[in-house]
Amino acid sequence: MINARHPIRGLLIGPLVAPLGYWLGSLALAWADGRRPGGWQAGRELVVVAAFGLPIAYGATVLWGLPILYALRRLGRLRGWTVILTGAFGGALVSIWFACEQRAAFIQVRLSMPGAAVLGALAGGACWWLGQGRSEPPAPAAVGR
């Protein structure tokens, strides 16, 4: 049986982790501050974070992740830790982009560089993990002898 990678699956599903992680982190901060958002409020916030964060996560994946992962693969350096490090660096770049673009914005999204790097590393790890697997279904077991 051939054990191969599924990079497309990882690149399609992995970026979902960044907005989900941002949402979970914002809920954790709210709980730490003593605020207890209800189910409806938390659900609405998840929808807003997903609507805003998913295009950014996929844009960062296409503009940053794909070229770097392609280069790492061509150089023979495509490993789990390099994908996680690439994701962390990409997250930090998104944080810098946010800071530059939101200087005069009325509504600003709080995204610290360490937090963005963690979200990028989580997305990179998810991309690597989800990109592993078999390229073929398992062979059927022999029936009877």
Please count the structural domains in the chain: 1
Give strand pairing partners of 3: 134
Residues 35-66: pLDDT tens digits?
A: 887 888 889 999 999 999 999 999 999 999 99
Q: Is residue 79 part of a domain?
A: yes
Domain hosting 70: range is: 7-130
Per-residue pLDDT for 5 more than 90?
no
pLDDT value at 133 more than 80: no
Q: Is residue 80 part of a domain?
A: yes
pLDDT tens-digit readout, 80-103: 999 999 999 999 999 999 888 888
> Is 138 within a domain?
no
Is the predicted pLDDT of residue 138 greater than 70, yes or no?
A: no
Q: Is residue 22 part of a domain?
A: yes
Q: Does residue 30 fall inside a structural domain? A: yes
Contacts of 65 (CB under 8 A, 6+ apart): 11, 86, 87, 90, 124, 127
CB of 123 closer than 8 Å to CB of 1: no
pLDDT for residue 144 is more than 70? no
Which one of 22-26, 36-40, 130-134 scores highest in mean pLDDT?
22-26
Inside any domain, residue 1: no
Neighbours of 76 (CB within 10 A): 7
Residue 26 placed within a domain: yes
Q: How far apart are CA 98 and CA 110, in angstroms?
A: 9
Residue 144 placed within a domain: no
